[in-house]
């Protein structure tokens, strides 16, 4: 049997397959699945309808295996941005899924397999209970979209691709420090109990870097412990956590400004990213 979390080797803070599923409610189950060495793709299941969405199914064969194991009907494909390690499995997934031709594939305009282009604040639903809102967060790529999900009980999650990581952010491949500052500020307006589902398992390196920037921050130490105890940190932080331990969302803090030698938010962001690139 294929286990979405069979790769966990350390003592996790939550059980395998996370009944809180990763899980943001008993009606919305979220299963992280590893692709390549550190990419996260996801299967999101609406238990009320048995309908599901897949997020960034790069390893399409592995994702189809999980879909078959769970016995769900995929109606939605979500792509966070066009980079191949996120979108590269879209066409194969759609071609090999029995109902692939009828699956709604949501993304920015540059992702392969897209049949429904979304822009900032566009909304759609799948299943009976899951509402989705697109949040345009250009910088890592100009078509980066974060997808905010909420079920009928008000439980929340956001798929952040390579924009926001646990304790970090993506490189500015197609954007500027100002754009990343705006993107993270935008994500920071989400309800604080929103669970973060990131695109890569970069938490150990992010925690190590954050400890250099804010060595006295107890929350950063908590992030380091989270990374130490879990091979998969996807779904183990909230927007509230990120505001406390993610240095890229703490540009006004004295320790962050001291480390970068700047006080203006955009300048701090740019210097911080350069420091992380060299770390």
- 52's tokens: 């599901």
Query: Which is the catalytic residue, given 56, 143, 162, 219?
Result: 162
| 197 and 157 Cβ atoms separated by less than 8 Å | yes
Sequence-separated (6 or more) residues with CB below 8 Å from residue 231:
7, 8, 9, 10, 12, 201
- What are the percentages of helix, strand and coil residues in the chain, rounded to 5? 30, 25, 45
- CA dist., res. 86 & res. 182, Å (int): 23
- CA dist., res. 181 & res. 139, Å (int): 9
CA gyration radius for the chain? 18
Strand partners, 196: 158
Query: Which is the catalytic residue, given 31, 82, 83, 97?
Result: 83
DSSP 269: H
**Residue 200 is a catalytic residue:** yes
Q: How far apart are the first and last CA of the chain?
A: 39
Query: Which is the catalytic residue, given 86, 97, 151, 181?
Result: 86
- CA dist., res. 186 & res. 171, Å (int): 17
Query: Which is the catalytic residue, given 56, 140, 143, 181?
Result: 140
**Residue 140 is a catalytic residue:** yes
**Residue 97 is a catalytic residue:** no
Sequence-separated (6 or more) residues with CB below 8 Å from residue 76:
51, 52, 53, 54, 103, 104, 105, 106, 124, 126
**Residue 193 is a catalytic residue:** no
Query: Which is the catalytic residue, given 81, 82, 97, 181?
Result: 81
- CA dist., res. 274 & res. 171, Å (int): 9
**Residue 56 is a catalytic residue:** no
Catalytic residues: 81, 83, 85-86, 140, 162, 200
């Amino acid at each position: 049997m294929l286990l979405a979390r069979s790769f966990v080797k350390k003592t996790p803070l939550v059980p395998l397959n996370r009944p809180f599923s990763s899980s943001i409610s008993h009606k919305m189950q979220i299963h992280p699945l590893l692709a390549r060495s550190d990419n996260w793709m996801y299967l999101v299941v609406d238990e009320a309808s048995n309908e599901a969405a897949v997020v960034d199914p790069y390893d399409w064969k592995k994702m189809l295996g999980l879909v078959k194991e769970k016995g769900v009907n995929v109606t939605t494909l979500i792509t966070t941005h066009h980079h191949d390690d996120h979108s590269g499995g879209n066409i194969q997934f759609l071609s090999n899924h029995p109902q692939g031709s009828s699956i709604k594939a949501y993304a920015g305009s540059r992702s392969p397999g897209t049949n429904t282009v979304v822009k900032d604040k566009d909304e759609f639903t799948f299943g009976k209970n899951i509402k989705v809102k697109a949040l345009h967060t250009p910088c890592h790529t100009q078509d980066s979209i974060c997808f905010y999900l909420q079920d009928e009980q008000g439980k929340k999650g956001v798929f952040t691709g390579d924009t926001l990581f646990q304790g970090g952010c993506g490189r500015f491949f197609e954007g500027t420090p100002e754009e990343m500052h705006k993107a993270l500020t935008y994500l920071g307006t989400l309800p604080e109990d929103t669970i973060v589902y990131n695109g890569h398992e970069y938490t150990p390196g992010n925690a190590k870097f954050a400890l250099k920037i804010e060595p006295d921050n107890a929350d950063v130490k908590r992030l380091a412990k989270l990374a130490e105890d879990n091979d998969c940190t996807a779904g183990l932080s909230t927007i509230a956590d990120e505001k406390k331990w993610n240095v890229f969302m703490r540009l006004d803090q004295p320790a962050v400004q001291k480390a970068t030698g700047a006080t203006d938010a955009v300048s701090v962001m740019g210097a911080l990213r350069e420091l992380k690139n060299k770390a």
